[in-house]
Structure 1
Amino acid sequence: MINIVGLNKARLEGFTKTEAFRNFEFAPISELRAQSHIHNPRALNDDILLFLAYDDEQLAGYLGILPDDVRMKNGEKIHFGWLSTLFVSEKHRGKQIAQKLLYAAEKSYDQNLLITEFTPSAERLYRKIGMFDDLASKNAIRYYYKSNLAELLPSKNNFFGRNKIWLKRWDNLVNFFIPYRSKGINNLYKITRSVDGNLSDFINHQHKNPIARNAADFQWMLEFPWLSTEKEEPNYLFSSYSEDYRMFWVSVCENQKIILAFLCSVRNSHLKVLYYFGNAEKISGILPKVIKKNKIKMMTIYDDKLNETIGKNKMPKPIYKRPMQRSYLIHKAFKAKLGKDFNFHFTDGDGDFSFT
């Protein structure tokens, strides 16, 4: 018999320290993800953050949810959940466990569900179950500034994973001859790893998309990342570890007032601009300095306006670039509730993208 159990903030607190958790064949959540979910300022006390599926008394699968809010044009706030992780053990497949987890999430969040960054196997399930519609995809450009084979190839083939040390040596040799070919504009910028009063005031007065992130949201992201630079979560199948992972704000002032700011993450020399406020052209002029200072090998931008200004200014100058795309799925009832005229203008970091 399949039994679905939901964990809210109170039940998730200390869950990863329990004997039952240690005895699971696989981990349904990492310690860092659990703490991040618990401290999410948009998560309500009764929100289910993790659904567990038991086959008799054995853990068979799980589904993670990241609670969020969206604002309508009339100011009404609608609470919803991003599907964050979905997994069913091979030993228990064929019993519609994934469907039962999705139905539990659908009921718990009143059908208000969104998904992005899903695997091909998860996408097949979402489409098969018939409760989701497509939203417009976001186009991206990935810019390559240095050779980064040690990070790119191991995920493609186990042979490269076994020979990662040689790939690193090759990268180091080749990159010695590849300079950063742009200095950027001369604005003085500031890097911070917290949201101080000036940055908070600036952020909270900016025009935002319907998710409408505020300073408290961004401070939560900075304080409770999902990736550890110390150890990998044993038996957890989703991202939990990175040799190098940092999040920080870059801000520029004029006359002692912030005129632009953008939130970055760097994972193993891969830069992402998750959110930005201010003039896109000026930001594209600051990026070369950030790239050089952090020894960035590649950068991914999911924002048409920012990519346009980067291309127009020809800075920073990559050795190679390629287009990418991110898909979104929305529950059909949630889409109808938001209405035909709703502007689904997501920012790079919306969903769980900011954390991985």
Structure 2
Amino acid sequence: MIELKTFNRKELEELISSGGFQQYDFLPVTRHRAESQIRNPKSSDEQTLLILAFYNDRLAGYAGCFPDSIITGEKVISYAWLSTLYVHPEFRKKRVAKKLLKKACEEYEGRIAITEFTAEAEALYTIMGIFEYVFPKEGKRYYFRTDATGIIPEKKPETKVLKPLFQLMDVIGNSVLSVKNIRVKEPDFRYEVLSRIDAQSAGFINEFSSQRNAEEINIFIDHPWILEGKKDHRYLFSSFAEVFKYFWIKIYDENNRLSSCFLLQFRDGYLKIPYLFSNNNLDHVVEFLTYFIVKNKIKGLTSYQPALNNKIKDSGTFPKIYERDFKREYLFHKQLLQALPEGFDPHYQDGDGDCMMT
């Protein structure tokens, strides 16, 4: 028999502070992820943040809910992202995932959104017949250095014995690229690199339509879902990385006025741009990225910023050696779509939803 237990902000805090989440064979949440969820400014005290499924008193799976809101005119529509859905292999033929998903939809009256899902999870969402694909984002992943050591063994585990050869290939390839990129110089325009958003940037951001403001972004910078350190293998979602940092970049024009601000997420050699705000001065953004990528030996960059990607395409100096097309799909529950005005598009940035945190 499957039993479900829900946790709101207070109950989740009690679960973490008591250490109760550590008692199971696998972790339903990490301490730092729970603490971040508790501080989510768009979460109310009553909303469910975590759902645990028990089968004969044993933890069988869990679902995470990440509250958010959309402003349409004067109306605020609350909903939640399904941030995690996991069922232990021992219980995967006992309809646990469907029970968890139905409970999440029930807790939020059908106002559930999902993105960055696996093919296995997507099959479940499709079978349920309650979600629709909406607002797809076309993106690019750019590669700047060879990484045969990391990529090939991951895709083909039988090649792990060849790791020394791959390492030698990377050393040779990246040495050649370093010589090629030696001409990249530091930009001659004014810029700043901060650890979080400052007051000047916050005022600048307010000039743009955005699903998140500076205060909200700073909360998640200060309370990330990923920490630097060794992974706890009892938690199956992202929780630790060797390197995980945020950089807030400010770029000024020739009149010393702020013209662009953006957030960089740096994780184990790879970059994302969760948020970008610019007064159409993307040439300087591309120039700064070129310098930052070469200086920090970045392996790759994923961007769903269409205007920036077009500017990169026109750039003759961007240090990419290869690029791939990417597509991010979003699934909205039909009841959430019914609550939105006809033709409404939230114009999500890369970091909206729970994407900024992982």
Please give the TM-score of this superposition, normalised by the length of structure 1.
0.93
2:133–2:332 contact (8 Å) kept in structure 1: yes
1:95 paired with 2:94, answer yes
Q: Which segment drifts farther, 6-15 or 254-263?
A: 254-263
Shift of 1:51: 0.7
Aligned twin of 2:152: 153
1:307 paired with 2:309, answer yes
**AA at the equivalent of 1:330:** F
Q: Sequence identity, in percent?
A: 34
CA distance, structure 2, for counterparts of residue 133 and residue 123 of structure 1: 11
**AA at the equivalent of 2:102:** Y
CA distance, structure 2, for counterparts of residue 115 and residue 202 of structure 1: 30
1:61–1:97 contact (8 Å) kept in structure 2: yes
Aligned twin of 2:208: 207
CA distance, structure 1, for counterparts of residue 208 and residue 119 of structure 2: 34
**AA at the equivalent of 2:294:** K
- Would the alpha carbon gap of residues 47 and 162 (structure 1) be closer, same or farther in structure 2, given more than 3 Å must change? farther
1:184–1:287 contact (8 Å) kept in structure 2: no
Pairing 1:200-349 to 2, within 5 Å after superposition:
200-203=202-205, 205-209=206-210, 211=211, 213-254=212-253, 255-278=255-278, 279=280, 280-349=282-351
**AA at the equivalent of 2:337:** K
Shift of 1:14: 4.6
Shift of 1:166: 5.8
What are the ranges of 5 or more consecutive residues in structure 1 without an aligned counterpart? none
Shift of 1:117: 0.2
Pairing 1:8-47 to 2, within 5 Å after superposition:
8-16=8-16, 18=18, 20-47=20-47
CA distance, structure 2, for counterparts of residue 57 and residue 51 of structure 1: 14
Shift of 1:197: 1.6
Q: Which segment drifts farther, 5-14 or 18-27?
A: 18-27
The residue matched to 1:177 in structure 2 has which SS? Answer: helix
2:70–2:346 contact (8 Å) kept in structure 1: no
CA distance, structure 2, for counterparts of residue 13 and residue 162 of structure 1: 45
Shift of 1:105: 1.0
- Would the alpha carbon gap of residues 54 and 162 (structure 1) be closer, same or farther in structure 2, given more than 3 Å must change? farther
- RMSD in angstroms over aligned alpha carbons? 2.0
Aligned twin of 1:125: 124
Q: Which segment drifts farther, 254-263 or 86-95?
A: 254-263
1:56 paired with 2:78, answer no
Shift of 1:91: 1.6
**AA at the equivalent of 1:309:** K
- Would the alpha carbon gap of residues 113 and 10 (structure 1) be closer, same or farther in structure 2, given more than 3 Å must change? same
Q: Which segment drifts farther, 129-138 or 118-127?
A: 129-138
- Would the alpha carbon gap of residues 168 and 354 (structure 1) be closer, same or farther in structure 2, given more than 3 Å must change? farther
The residue matched to 1:95 in structure 2 has which SS? Answer: coil
**AA at the equivalent of 1:260:** S
- Would the alpha carbon gap of residues 57 and 275 (structure 1) be closer, same or farther in structure 2, given more than 3 Å must change? same
Pairing 1:156-175 to 2, within 5 Å after superposition:
156-160=155-159, 167-175=166-174
What are the ranges of 5 or more consecutive residues in structure 2 without an aligned counterpart? none
Shift of 1:293: 2.6
The residue matched to 1:155 in structure 2 has which SS? Answer: helix
Shift of 1:295: 1.7
Give CA-to-partner distance per residue, 1:23-70, whole Å, 9 cap, x none: 211111112211110111111111111111111211111001111111
CA distance, structure 2, for counterparts of residue 185 and residue 20 of structure 1: 51
- Would the alpha carbon gap of residues 89 and 108 (structure 1) be closer, same or farther in structure 2, given more than 3 Å must change? same
Aligned twin of 1:108: 107
CA distance, structure 2, for counterparts of residue 349 and residue 150 of structure 1: 29
Give CA-to-partner distance per residue, 1:305-330, whole Å, 9 cap, x none: 11001111234131111111111100
- Would the alpha carbon gap of residues 37 and 19 (structure 1) be closer, same or farther in structure 2, given more than 3 Å must change? closer
The residue matched to 1:186 in structure 2 has which SS? Answer: coil
The residue matched to 2:37 in structure 1 has which SS? Answer: helix
1:143–1:298 contact (8 Å) kept in structure 2: yes
Give CA-to-partner distance per residue, 1:67-102, whole Å, 9 cap, x none: 111111x22111110111101112222222111111
Aligned length: 352
2:135–2:345 contact (8 Å) kept in structure 1: no
1:67 paired with 2:40, answer no
1:229–1:245 contact (8 Å) kept in structure 2: yes
CA distance, structure 1, for counterparts of residue 112 and residue 307 of structure 2: 27
